A and B are shown apart, each in its own frame.
Chain A
């Protein structure tokens, strides 16, 4: 903690409340703070309890992901993508596989597409459930909502474990399909988990949606306007909470999402409460997609038979593959020069881009609101810092 030596931010609207620089207090939230979801630091300049400036500091978890990817084979980057957003490794695999498939022109068999949709939507369920749990934890609802979310997540992770051999670092997708087929009885277990999930959602909604403490803490807090959301490139549930109708599953028609009927929930206020509600509603839509997909999954091969595991060298060229990950638009940009390693490998992380508007959301709010706002952005530092 130190007294700020920088001049105060220009507040041209209300010169009366402009503080002198002696009154400002600069504090550092993080990098080790339980509410920052990892090693993330915010330099906050306060006037009393009010936020005057906020500067996010990234990079504490930087692991050189993009440069490492240039020195290993295309397949070798697949397990590294698990470690980007470690809450939802399967969607990360999917985004990378999609980019490489675009680059090399690989077709994916139908069964593999269904497997990808099923695993991807299960990932979305557990990510959103946990995010809401963390958000409640940050706002002081110690334990209960988070433990309920983790109880459900446990069931989904058990499914992932029996399919891929790992709970979080699944490493499941391969170029042109998936690594392993479903073990016996997996689909029935998944159907049961999916059928039970709405009960959990009902319970969650009953406890949280009309809770007055939650409403007091979140409504009209951290408002993100539609215009700012579009111009700052915000994607995912955060953009949709501000009323931007932009879901890559709908606009990009990737994979087989055209075959399923689902709606895209939109918010109208763009505050923390809307971000929370959009995720809650999205889980219901995901359950719908999962029910349709588990019913319609066909038999067949799970990987393109032309695809060989050793010696993969795509032709020179470039490709950008993007998917709707639970956090937003996850994109992978690849340039190939015909060698076994990518010439350039770039990740467009939704967490990082969504975090760029943090200052705009927090200005003029209290310190306690920063925690709620940050929680509603849904960041995972593995992805922010890469």
Chain B
């Protein structure tokens, strides 16, 4: 069925030649030395890297500037159901001064999370994003991996630092929305002013 080989032991010789070539090759070309001496030197995470979600806040105070409005879409869409949200009873003003609900409780169990990024994709408020921090080991297997609202909150500056391109897009979109809202509010205010101005005039004429 198959033809035989010409030389007995040819395979072994070829293999040994290959080993020798690589052994001595390592002394010559330095690009073979790809090992990173981990704790001392660390490679930077690439921009699209993702591990666990965090909550973005604007400004300096994490409670004031939290973008999340507790709409609970991410909680519903999360495939392994690792997000737990409790909506607040009252409303607090958000970054634009508009009263909004806020999450009274927002927990993510990162021992369950599978880093799929679906919460980020479904969030209509750009409130939840993926972190790149990988040094998360802890000796507390329950509390240490169940992140609460405070531990999840990270500033927008941090987000800009880890995902510059994506953050620039989000900032531009949010700024555009804010400008549109302001223009709308201004137009509405002008309209009420105008009607207010018109009304007394019409009263006079009557």
- A→B interface (CB under 8 Å): 72-73, 75-80, 144, 161-166, 169, 171, 179-180, 183, 206-207, 210-215, 219-220, 269, 309-310
CB-CB under 8 A from A77, the residues of chain B are: 79
- Measured CA separation A131–B14 after assembly (Å): 22
Residues in B neighbouring A162, C-beta threshold 8 A: 46, 48
The answer to whether A80 touches B79 (Cβ under 8 A) is: yes
Interfacial chain B residues near A215, Cβ < 8 Å: 2, 5
Residues of chain B within 8 A (CB-CB) of A206 are 14
B48 touches A164 (CB 8 A): yes
Which of A161, A207, A220, A310 is the one whose CB lies under 8 Å from B14?
Answer: A207
The one of A73, A171, A213 in contact with B77, judged by C-beta atoms closer than 8 angstroms, is A73
CA distance A207 to B73 in the complex (A): 55
Distance to closest chain A CB from B3 (angstroms): 10
Q: Which of B9-32 contact A (CB under 8 A)?
A: 9-12, 14-15, 18-19
Q: Using Cβ atoms and an 8 Å threshold, which residues of chain A touch B12?
A: 213
24 pairs, A vs B, C-beta closer than 8 Å: A72-B79, A79-B114, A80-B79, A144-B18, A164-B48, A165-B46, A165-B49, A165-B50, A165-B117, A166-B115, A169-B114, A169-B115, A169-B116, A180-B48, A206-B14, A207-B14, A207-B18, A210-B5, A210-B11, A211-B11, A211-B14, A219-B2, A220-B1, A310-B124
The number of residue pairs between A and B whose CB atoms lie closer than 8 Å in the complex comes to 72
Known pairs A144-B19, A207-B18, A269-B1; A76 contacts B79 (CB<8 A): yes
The interface residues of chain B lying within 8 Å CB-to-CB of A165 are 46, 48-50, 117, 130
Q: Which 4 A-B pairs give the minimum distances between C-beta atoms?
A: A79-B116, A211-B11, A76-B79, A165-B48
Residues of A close to B44: CB separation below 8 A: none
Query: CB within 8 A of B10: which of A166, A212, A269?
Result: A212
B122 located at the interface, meaning its Cβ lies under 8 Å from any Cβ of chain A in the complex: yes
Interface residues of B (CB under 8 A from A): 1-2, 5, 8-12, 14-15, 18-19, 46, 48-50, 73, 77-79, 114-118, 121-122, 124, 130
Cross-chain contact A76 with B46 (CB below 8 angstroms): no
CB distance from B170 to the nearest CB of A (A): 15
How far apart sit A171 and B130, CA to CA, in the bound complex (Å)?
14
In the bound assembly, the distance between CA atoms of A73 and B118 in angstroms comes to 11
B15–A207 CB distance below 8 A: yes
Q: With A77-B79, A219-B2, A220-B1 given, is the CB distance from A309 to B122 under 8 Å?
A: yes
Bound CA–CA A210/B10 (angstroms): 9
- Residues on B with beta carbons closer than 8 Å to the beta carbon of A220: 1
**Central interface residue in B50, B77, B79, by most chain A CB within 10 Å:** B79
Expressed in whole angstroms, the minimum distance between the Cβ of A81 and any Cβ of chain B is 11
Contacts of A219 in B (CB 8 A): 1-2
User: CB < 8 Å: which of B2, B46, B77 contacts A161?
Assistant: B46
Additional A-B contacts beyond A180-B48, A211-B11, A212-B11 (12; CB < 8 A): A144-B15, A162-B48, A165-B46, A165-B48, A169-B115, A179-B121, A183-B48, A210-B10, A213-B11, A214-B11, A219-B2, A310-B73
Do the beta carbons of B121 and A309 come within 8 Å of each other?
yes
When chains A and B are docked, how far (Å) is the Cα of A383 from the Cα of B202?
A: 78
Q: How far is the CA of A288 from the CA of B80 in the complex (A)?
A: 39
Q: Which residues of A contact B46 (CB under 8 A)?
A: 161-162, 165
Of A212, A269, A310, the contact of B5 (CB 8 Å cutoff): A212
| A144–B21 CA distance with the chains assembled, in angstroms | 12
CB neighbours (8 Å) of B11 from chain A are: 210-214
A142–B8 CA distance with the chains assembled, in angstroms: 21
Q: Are A79 and B118 in contact (CB under 8 A)?
A: yes
B118 to chain A, nearest CB (A): 6
CA of A135 to CA of B204 in the docked complex: distance in angstroms? 97
Q: Is the CB of B8 within 8 A of A310?
A: no
Residues of A within 8 Å of B1, CB to CB, are: 219-220, 269
Q: Which residues of the partner chain A approach B14 to less than 8 Å between Cβ atoms?
A: 206-207, 211
Residues of A contacting B118 in the complex (Cβ-Cβ under 8 angstroms)? 75-76, 78-79
Give, as a whole number of angstroms, the nearest-CB distance from B124 to chain A: 8
Q: A79–B18 Cα gap in the complex (Å)?
A: 41
- A183 and B118 CA atoms in complex are apart in Å by 20
- Return A178 CB to nearest CB of chain B, in Å: 13
A75: nearest chain-B partner, CB-CB: B118
B117 to chain A, nearest CB (A): 7
Shortest distance in angstroms between A258's beta carbon and chain B's nearest beta carbon?
32
Across the interface, which residues of A come within 8 angstroms of B5, CB to CB? Answer: 210, 212, 215
Q: Which of B8, B46, B48 has the most CB of A within 10 A?
A: B48
* B11 nearest CB neighbor, chain A only: A211
Which A residues are CB-close (under 8 A) to B117? 165, 171
Q: Which residues of B contact A171 (CB under 8 A)?
A: 116-117
